[in-house]
Amino acid sequence: MNVGEVCDILADVAPLRLAEGWDNVGLLVGDRGATAARIMTCLTITPVVVEEAVRQRVDLVITHHPLPFKPLAKITTDSTVGAMLLSLIAAEIAVYSAHTAFDSAASGINQAWASGLGAATSGPLVPADRAGGQTDTDSATAIEVGVGSGRWAMLPGPLTLDQLARSAARVCAATDVRVVGSGQEIWKVAIACGSGGSFLQAALACGCQAMITGEATFHTCLEAEALGIDLVLVGHFASERFAMVQLASDLHAAIAAKGSECDVFASSADVNPLRTIMIT
């Protein structure tokens, strides 16, 4: 299978029209006709992830966070981004990112959260035709299949804030979780992987008592408290990384179903840059 064929599979999983307008998605580096015999997924491309990809003789890196993200006037080793891109290009390693398209897809990261929590029903916080992403004439169909930004999820039964925090930690293997809230009974939860503070009003409009996200600013926490919406903050890395590990398994199965075979694995160098120091 070549890079372009893998891109087509990924575009079926996460249609790029769902990406936010400010995002940079799709094939970002590489030749669509090049062979993709070894594929690696990661949350973020960092210097150590680049070294791993080169060492492992990877043909394609599928990263959640785009590289490059913003337009570049020059590509030199004077910047970290430039140095990483030059290393990847020299090793003939392609780069693909679906980012916010994967967040919003019917089987994307936020839906993986809803499924992990055992949600009885779920749907987008902001349906695709009202989201900030790319739209087309199929927007009505997009609503029918439940795509859009964020997710609301009906829990199997009511939970306390502490119980929801523990459930969230189990879904994404978080080692520590921070919460904001009064301890109200929670039966409908909003989900926004990454940094989801902008979804507070949508969560309120959907009747959610709590929102699970990766991180939030101090002022977002105060706003949530004022709105009466509990927050569960599992960390940006934890809120998304688990889905990129699962994507490696799912992509391997999808490629095999098309009669091809290749190595697909999650990066081992892609780790959380933050660590917690317990003060006693």
pTM for the complete prediction?
Answer: 0.91
CA–CA separation, 216 and 202 (whole Å): 16
Residue ranges covered by each domain of the chain: 3-101+240-266, 106-234
Is 106-234 in the same CATH topology as 3-101+240-266?
A: yes
Q: What is the pLDDT of residue 145?
A: 63
CATH 3.20.20.70 corresponds to the domain 3-101+240-266: no
CA–CA separation, 88 and 172 (whole Å): 29
Report yes or no: 2 and 34 within 8 Å, Cβ to Cβ. yes
Report yes or no: 94 and 59 within 8 Å, Cβ to Cβ. yes
CB-based burial label for 233 (10 Å; 0-12, 13-18, 19+): buried
Q: What is the pLDDT of residue 142?
A: 40
Q: Which residues contact 201 (CB under 8 A, 6 or more apart)?
A: none
Nearest residue to 41 via CA among 91, 102, 87? 102
Which residue in the block uniquely carries the two structure tokens 């997710």? 151
CA–CA separation, 17 and 19 (whole Å): 6
CA–CA separation, 131 and 258 (whole Å): 33
What does pLDDT average to in each consecutive run of 10 residues of the chain (280 residues)?
96 94 96 97 98 98 97 95 98 97 94 95 85 41 66 96 97 95 92 96 97 97 96 98 97 95 96 90
Which residue in the block uniquely carries the two structure tokens 């599928």? 62
In this structure, what are the phi and psi dihedrals at residue 10, rounded to the nearest 5 degrees?
-65, -35
Q: Specify the fold of 106-234.
A: 3.40.1390
Q: What is the pLDDT of residue 137?
A: 33
CB atoms within 10 A of CB 143: 16
H or E element, residue 31: none
Nearest residue to 213 via CA among 229, 233, 228? 233
96 conformational bin, left if phi > 0, alpha if psi -120 to 50, beta if neither? beta
Report yes or no: 232 and 212 within 8 Å, Cβ to Cβ. yes
H or E element, residue 83: helix 80-90
**Strand residues in 30-80 grouped as ranges (E):** 38-42, 60-63
